[in-house]
Amino acid sequence: MLRLCLWLLCLGAPLAIARAEPIQLIYFRMPPVADEVDGKATGPAVSLVQDLTQGLDVDPDARLLPLKRLELMLATGKTIVIGIGRTPAREKLGVTWVVELFRDNYHFVTYTGHPAITSVDDARKVKSIACNLGGAPAEWLLDRGFTNVESATDIRSEAAKLHAGHVEAWFGVKIFIDHTWRSLGYDPATLQWSPPVEVQPIWVAASPQVDPAVIDTMRRRFAELKSQGRLDPLLAKLGG
């Protein structure tokens, strides 16, 4: 009888471990909001979400993922995304939009020596526009019938393609474009900016498998920090 009980206990142990698996924090490159330096997650949004989830059933070590993998884990895993554009396609994933971090404008940029883009119609006429297919900027373009979108692996690749002349334009959120360009050592004076195209909200999002109590706690903590003015310095860094 004792052996039977021990055997049943051993069988149940892996199941208990699986049930106890913590929520995973995930992100993709959105410098300076969220990035990886020397193998460690960094950026104001990373710090904020770690604070919002402190003491909860959440692994504080955030994982950097390619965008496609991140979206898959957001839809099917037990995850919280530190920052992601809220788009119509992502609304269909069934995720919970926890808190809005900030908003910033979409812009088209071109490199010195190429014609500046002054309108969406101008952008349709250029040969190629760098975008990470699957990302919110690419979704915006494709939803509006753009056929000149050239895929890039991440935001740094987008910048490098424009700098090297492999594409004629780049489309994205202003803070991400500006910071990435500078971080690669490129001269910011060589970028030509279009007028603002549209506002893009950036949110913290949770997969359907995340306990609603965790989401409620994060929202309450965020509201408390905001009401106390303690978010002001951080939101200023994010553009909010």
Strands 169-173 and 129-131: parallel
Instruction: Give the N- to C-terminal CA distance of the chain in Å, as an integer.
Output: 64
Mean pLDDT of 13-36: 76
For the chain, what is the mean pLDDT? 88
| pLDDT bracket for residue 19 (50, 70, 90) | low
pLDDT in tens, 175-217: 999 999 999 999 999 999 999 999 999 999 999 999 999 999 9
Beta bridge partners of 110: 192
What is the spatial distance between Cα 81 and Cα 10, in angstroms, rounded to a whole number?
34
Domain spans in the chain, listed from the N-terminal domain onward: 22-103+200-238, 104-199
CATH classification code of 104-199: 3.40.190.10
Q: Into which CATH architecture does domain 22-103+200-238 fall? A: 3-Layer(aba) Sandwich (3.40)
Residue 130 and residue 150 in contact, taking contact as beta carbons nearer than 8 Å: yes
* Sign of the CA dihedral running 153, 209, 41, 223: positive
- Indicate the range of 19-23, 122-126, 145-149, 157-161 predicted with least confidence: 19-23
